[in-house]
Amino acid sequence: MLDIVYRSADLLAIDKPSGVSLLADRSGAPCLWETLAEELALEGHEPFSVHRIDKGTSGVLLVALTRERQSHLSQAFARRDVRKFYVARVVGDVRLDGVSGLIDLPLEKGRKSRFRVAAPRERIVRHGSRWHLIGRTSAGHESLSRLRRIGGDGRQTLLLLQPLTGRTHQLRVHLSWIGHPIIGDHLYGKPDSVEQQWPRLALHYHRVVVDGVAITAPLPAEFALPVARHPAAGRRESRGSGRRTTRQRK
């Protein structure tokens, strides 16, 4: 099923399910892009890639319907003009001193296509609600993630996350290295950890604001934890069609 959450003349937004690859992978399983191309071809349209979402991550996927819109959005992402918000369930009880916190840890590529903080773990410190490195470093790339607690049960915490930079696996690496890995994340967490066992990666691309339009993919029901405040603030601003569902073609 293709779950469309927004549509205009030149832009489409889909609520991507977890466990489905955007592009073809080694598993040989159907990928979302093939289905999308087939559906749009029936309408005389062609999809143009704007950004990617990990296979395990669910939520908002933007697809341009013209090359002009693709170019515009690609530049907007590069300039960091696009505001992105994710929701994650993480291990442990994350408490913040204020309304929000900041993870300020540079990242670099590690072994086997994994990414890591560009310094030993013992150099990571927390001051108030900010995590950063002791001393200066010229290694890695600047990586900033804002976080806000929206619920928890003492064992796990529900966080609203805003990546201020766009590094690969940024949120997953940051949360793991501060000691609160995302549940279901066996790449950056501990695969044999009882605390992390879950049927999927508990990361959801909840909301994106681009060109003054806010597009939201509702939080999956399985993410529910005692919530202090719902992460979606304000009304969805869009002039596109309402939410609709189309059947996936086999």
pTM score of the predicted model: 0.87
The predicted pLDDT at position 111 comes to: 85
The answer to whether the beta carbons of residues 237 and 212 sit under 8 Å apart is yes
Q: Which residue in the list 10, 54, 81, 211 is annotated as catalytic? A: 54
The answer to whether 54 is a known catalytic residue is yes
Assign 126 a pLDDT band (cuts: 50, 70, 90): very high
Structure confidence by residue, pLDDT tens digits, 171-193? 999 999 999 999 999 999 988 88
Structure confidence by residue, pLDDT tens digits, 235-248? 444 444 444 444 33
**pLDDT of residue 229 exceeding 60:** no
Structure confidence by residue, pLDDT tens digits, 40-54? 999 999 999 999 999
The winner for highest mean pLDDT among 31-40, 122-131, 136-145 is: 122-131
Assign 231 a pLDDT band (cuts: 50, 70, 90): very low
208 or 189: which leads in pLDDT: 208
CA atoms 29, 35, 37, 38: torsion sign: positive
* Percent composition of the chain: helix, strand, coil (DSSP 3-state, to 5): 15, 35, 50
Tell me which residue has tokens 């002791």. Answer: 134
Which whole number is the average pLDDT over 12-34? 86
| Cα 24 to Cα 21: distance, rounded to the nearest angstrom | 7
CATH numbers and ranges of domains, the chain: 2-82+233-246 (3.30.2350.10), 88-196 (3.30.2350.10)
The predicted pLDDT at position 226 comes to: 77
